[in-house]
C-alpha cells in the first residue's frame, strides 16, 4: 500500500520548524515578533512530531521489536551523546561535561521515544479514554516533583507521552478528519488567537513548552497543574490547526519526511557552532528571511543521499546506502 504523503509532508514541515526554531532562539530577546514566532512554533511542533511518532508505532510490543528499538534509538543516543560531548568541548561550549544520562540538547527525544514505546506495553491494554486520561494525569503530576527533570529525560517523557499515546491510538481515517474545511476555517482563528496571546503575554516562560522543569522552577507551584493543563489544551488545538493545512499531494520533497531523524540528530552541530561563534544577527526582515533560508538549506543537505550514506552506520547501525552507492559506481565504470 502506498504511503500517505500527508504524513511525510507533515514531518518535513515540522523538522524545518525544529531547525528554524533553534536557529532563531538566540534572537528572541531582541524582538517581540521573533519571540512570539518562536513561542508560537513551540506550542505545537514537538507535540505534533511526537503524535506522528506514536502513529507509526503500531507494531510495538514484541521482544524483537524492543531489541530493534534499542538499536534504532538507544544506540544512536549513546553515540551522539559522546559525539556532542566531544564537539562541545572543541567549540568551548559550557556544559560539555554532562553525564551520559543527561541528554545533550535535542537528544532527549531519542531517550524519551524509547520510553514511550515501553510505556505503550501497558497503556495499550487499557480502554483508550482511560489510558489517555492516566497519561495526562501523570503529565500533570510530575511537575510537582523537582526531582523529576532533565536526568533520563524523565520530565519530558511523562509530559509529552499523551501526544504519543493519542497518535498510537488514532487511525489514518481519524487523522485525516483534520482536512475538513470547517476544521481549516476554525484553525485560522486558533493560530492567530494563540499568536496574539503570546505577543501580549511576553513574560510567559518557555519552560512550560519545553516541559523539562518542575512547577517550582517555573515559579507556579500551587497552580502548576492547571497551567500545564491549559498548555495541553492549547497544544492540542494548535496541532490540529497546523496539520489541517498540511498538503496531501506527493511532491518531490515528500521523500524527505522519511529522513527527518538525520536532520534532527545532525543539525545541532551547525546550530551550536553558529551560537558559539555568534555568526548571525537579526537587524531586519532580510536577516530573518536569511535564517529561514539557511534552515531550509540545512534540512535539504542533511537529508540528502550523500549525508545519509555517510552517517547511516552511526544513525541506523548499517551501511546499505553506502553499499548501493559503491555498487552503482562500480557498474557505471
Among 50, 108, 112, which residue's Cα sits nearest to residue 243? Answer: 50
Burial of 223 (0-12, 13-18, 19+ CB in 10 A): exposed
Among 329, 324, 327, 331, which residue's Cα sits nearest to residue 309? Answer: 324
What is the DSSP annotation of 247-265? --S--TTGGGGG-HHHHHH
Q: Are 291 and 43 in contact (CB under 8 A)?
A: no
Tell me how far apart the alpha carbons of residues 122 and 140 are, in angstroms, rounded to a whole number.
19
The pLDDT of residue 199: 94
| Other CB atoms within 10 Å distance of the CB of residue 278 | 8
* Angle, vertex CA 34, rays to CA 29 and CA 38, nearest 5: 95
Phi, psi of 330 (to 5 degrees): -65, -45
What is this structure's pTM? 0.94
Phi, psi of 95 (to 5 degrees): 90, 10
Sign of the alpha-carbon torsion through 81, 83, 84, 88: positive
The pLDDT of residue 70: 87
The pLDDT of residue 4: 92
* Angle, vertex CA 303, rays to CA 59 and CA 294, nearest 5: 130
Tell me how far apart the alpha carbons of residues 329 and 188 are, in angstroms, rounded to a whole number.
50
Parse the chain into domains and list their residue ranges: 5-332
Q: Are 58 and 168 in contact (CB under 8 A)?
A: yes
Per-residue pLDDT of the chain (333 residues; tens, 9 = 90+): 578 999 999 999 999 999 999 999 999 999 999 999 999 999 999 999 999 999 998 765 667 788 888 888 999 999 999 999 999 999 988 777 777 788 988 899 999 999 999 999 899 999 999 999 999 999 999 999 988 877 778 999 999 999 999 999 999 999 999 999 999 999 999 999 999 999 998 678 899 999 999 999 999 988 999 999 999 999 999 999 999 999 999 999 999 999 999 999 999 999 999 999 999 999 999 999 999 999 999 999 999 999 999 999 999 988 888 888 777 776 766
Q: Are 205 and 218 in contact (CB under 8 A)?
A: yes
C-alpha cell at 311: 552517517
Among 237, 272, 259, which residue's Cα sits nearest to residue 306? Answer: 259
The pLDDT of residue 61: 62
Phi, psi of 215 (to 5 degrees): -65, -35
Among 117, 209, 131, 115, which residue's Cα sits nearest to residue 166? Answer: 131
Tell me how far apart the alpha carbons of residues 226 and 216 are, in angstroms, rounded to a whole number.
14
Task: State the DSSP code for 72.
Answer: I
Spatial neighbors of 159 by CB under 8 A, at least 6 apart, are: 139, 142, 143, 211, 228
The pLDDT of residue 152: 79
Tell me how far apart the alpha carbons of residues 14 and 8 are, in angstroms, rounded to a whole number.
10
Spatial neighbors of 152 by CB under 8 A, at least 6 apart, are: 101, 111
As a whole number of Å, the CA-based R_g of the chain is: 20
Amino acid at each position: 500500500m502506498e504511503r500517505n504523503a500527508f504524513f511525510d509532508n507533515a514531518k518535513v514541515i515540522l523538522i524545518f520548524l525544529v531547525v528554524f526554531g533553534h536557529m532563531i532562539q538566540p534572537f528572541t530577546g531582541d524582538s517581540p515578533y521573533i519571540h512570539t514566532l518562536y513561542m508560537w512554533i513551540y506550542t505545537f511542533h514537538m507535540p505534533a512530531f511526537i503524535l506522528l511518532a506514536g502513529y507509526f508505532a503500531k507494531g510495538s510490543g514484541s521482544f524483537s521489536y524492543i531489541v530493534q528499538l534499542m538499536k534504532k534509538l538507544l544506540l544512536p543516543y549513546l553515540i551522539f551523546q559522546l559525539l556532542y560531548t566531544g564537539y562541545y568541548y572543541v567549540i568551548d561550549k559550557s556544559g560539555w561535561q554532562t553525564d551520559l544520562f543527561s541528554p545533550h540538547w535535542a537528544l532527549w527525544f531519542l531517550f524519551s521515544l524509547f520510553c514511550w514505546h515501553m510505556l505503550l506495553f501497558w497503556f495499550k491494554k487499557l480502554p483508550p479514554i482511560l489510558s489517555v486520561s492516566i497519561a495526562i494525569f501523570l503529565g500533570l503530576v510530575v511537575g510537582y516533583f523537582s526531582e523529576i527533570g532533565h536526568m533520563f529525560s524523565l520530565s519530558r517523557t511523562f509530559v509529552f507521552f499523551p501526544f504519543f499515546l493519542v497518535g498510537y491510538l488514532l487511525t489514518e481515517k481519524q487523522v485525516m478528519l483534520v482536512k475538513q474545511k470547517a476544521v481549516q476555517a476554525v484553525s485560522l482563528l486558533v493560530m492567530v488567537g494563540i499568536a496574539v496571546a503570546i505577543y501580549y503575554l511576553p513574560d510567559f516562560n518557555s519552560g512550560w513548552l519545553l516541559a523539562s522543569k518542575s512547577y517550582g522552577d517555573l515559579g507556579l507551584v500551587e497552580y502548576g497543574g492547571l497551567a500545564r493543563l491549559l498548555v495541553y489544551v492549547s497544544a492540542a488545538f494548535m496541532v490540529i490547526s497546523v496539520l489541517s493545512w498540511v498538503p496531501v499531494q506527493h511532491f518531490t520533497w515528500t521523500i524527505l519526511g522519511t529522513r527527518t531523524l538525520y536532520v534532527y540528530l545532525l543539525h545541532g552541530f551547525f546550530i551550536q557552532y553558529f551560537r558559539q561563534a555568534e555568526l548571525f544577527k537579526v537587524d531586519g526582515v532580510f536577516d530573518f528571511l536569511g535564517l529561514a533560508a539557511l534552515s531550509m538549506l540545512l534540512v535539504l543537505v542533511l537529508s540528502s543521499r550523500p549525508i545519509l550514506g555517510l552517517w547511516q552506520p552511526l544513525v541506523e547501525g548499517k551501511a546499505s546506502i553506502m553499499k548501493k552507492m559503491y555498487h552503482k559506481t562500480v557498474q557505471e565504470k
